[in-house]
Amino acid sequence: MAARTPGAEPATPPAATEGPVLVVGAGLLGASIGLGLRHLGVEVWLQDASPTAEAVAEDIGAGRSCRAAAEDRVPEPGLVVVAVPPDVAAETVARALEEHPAAVVLDVASVKEAVLEGVRARGADLTRYVGTHPMAGRERSGPVAARGELFTSMPWVVCDSGSSSPAALAAARHLAVDLGATVTFMDAREHDATVALISHLPQVMSSLLASRLQETPLHHLSLAGQGLRDTTRIAASDPGLWVQILAANAGPVVAALHGVREDLDRLIATLEAPRAPGARLDIAQLMAEGNAGRARIPGKHGGAPRAFETVTVLVGDVPGQLARLLAEIGEIGVNLEDLRLEHSPGQPVGLAEVSVLPHRRKELIEALQERGWKVVQ
């Protein structure tokens, strides 16, 4: 094996995805896919109904604009990635399959069964089509929010159409792996039922909670802690996109909401008579059921859930303080499992809640205190 020059960056491994790749839809996901592939040296072309989105995606380096290039210079793609909203995904996939008869066509819409049935109803060639869903995103939308690393270590679901060829499935898997994602195979119906519970229901609950704040006086909201910010964070998502997602996956979402309604009715009935026999036990049981569900969410790197302990450190709200804290934790040799920040309203300080393995907690507290950090016990 040839020696590497000291200090040199390791070479980027070659991509399994072969260009040219045509990305249809230059929003957050499409532009992020383009950025990731371009970083790997793959030829990418961009197409979007919005000239502005297409131009911005080209400007940030996500690929070349089909609109800006002469028509005879746009090469025939071997792979087409459809990254458009769910309500037009099936139509766009079917058109791409017709216009590019030698290409594999993937979509990245967040619902799968409705898209598959729409493509099937149009009589398109399902052997060259694969539905996929990268489980990644941001509250911001559009190409300006795109990042080439958006999919790193994130799940990417691949759904066989039932007729997808081995070559088409391999192309879907190669794209996900090239962009750093972890591939999971599901059928379309299983996918939609799963995301209804783990993605769509949390969005609905966050939005419903945040909607309660519309008439709340600002001086009341100034008392809010990190819990409210955590539970309403995704309520900032694009309403237009979620209209399409929820309408396309209404059946599984309704089933999940019925379960939530049963729990709410149970809690309301209990709280209407909180001192009745058994009421306090029922409240405790509801909270414990939440604990049990939360504990089942996979832990770091997707492994089994692990119990961590926290160390809370007072951090001055000045440039470089948080970076210094993280650097010193690294110097101490304790691995940081998670980090949560909470700012004190009206105060120039924040609380950094660091999660570590239980047997390292005491060691970290003592080492930080020796270095002058104030640890909140």
Report pLDDT digits (tens) over 301-350.
Answer: 555 556 788 888 888 878 888 899 999 999 999 888 888 887 655 567 78
Statement: residue 276 has pLDDT above 90: yes
Query: In the chain, pLDDT over 70 holds for what percent of residues?
Result: 92
Average pLDDT over residues 20-41: 96
Strand-by-strand arrangement of the 44-47 sheet: 64-65, 44-47, 21-24, 79-82, 104-107, 129-134, 155-160, 182-185
Q: What is the pLDDT of residue 267?
A: 96
Q: What is the pLDDT of residue 338?
A: 83
134 DSSP β-pair partners:
156
Mean pLDDT of 172-178: 97
Q: What is the distance between the alpha carbons of residues 159 and 196, in angstroms, rounded to a whole number? A: 16
Judged by average pLDDT, the poorest of 148-157, 203-212, 352-361 is: 352-361
pLDDT, the chain, mean: 90
Q: What DSSP letter does each residue of 214-227 carry, written as one string?
A: TTS-HHHHTT--HH
| pLDDT of res. 226 | 81
- pLDDT tens-digit profile of 179-197? 999 999 999 999 999 999 9
Percent of the chain with pLDDT over 90: 69
Query: With the CA atoms of 274, 280, 285 and 288 taken in that order, what torsion angle do they form, in degrees rounded to the nearest 10?
Result: 100
Report the SS3 class of residue 130.
strand
**pLDDT surpasses 70 at 22:** yes
Residue given tokens 């766009």 in the structure block: 92
Helices 201-211 & 239-248, crossing angle to 10 degrees?
130
The more confidently predicted of residues 70 and 359 is 359
pLDDT of residue 354: 87
Mean pLDDT of 209-227: 92
pLDDT number for residue 128: 98
Q: Rounded mean pLDDT of 35-64?
A: 96
The answer to whether residue 198 scores a pLDDT higher than 90 is yes
Write down the pLDDT at residue 300: 54
Task: Determine the pLDDT at residue 346.
Answer: 58
SS3 213: coil
User: What are the phi and psi torsion angles at 287 (to 5°)?
Assistant: -65, -40
Flag whether pLDDT at 200 surpasses 50: yes
- pLDDT value at position 2? 43
Is pLDDT above 80 for 136? yes
Q: What does the pLDDT look like over 72-99, one tens digit per residue?
A: 578 999 999 999 999 999 999 999 999 9
Q: Which among 131, 113, 142, 132 is positioned nearest to 179, based on CA atoms?
A: 132
Residue type, 179: L
Domains of the chain, start order: 21-187 (3.40.50.720), 195-214+226-295 (1.10.3660.10), 309-376 (3.30.70.260)
Q: Using the predicted structure, report yes or no on whether residue 351 has a pLDDT greater than 90.
A: no
pLDDT at 70: 63
- DSSP assignment of 166-196 equals HHHHHHHHHHHHHTT-EEEE--HHHHHHHHI
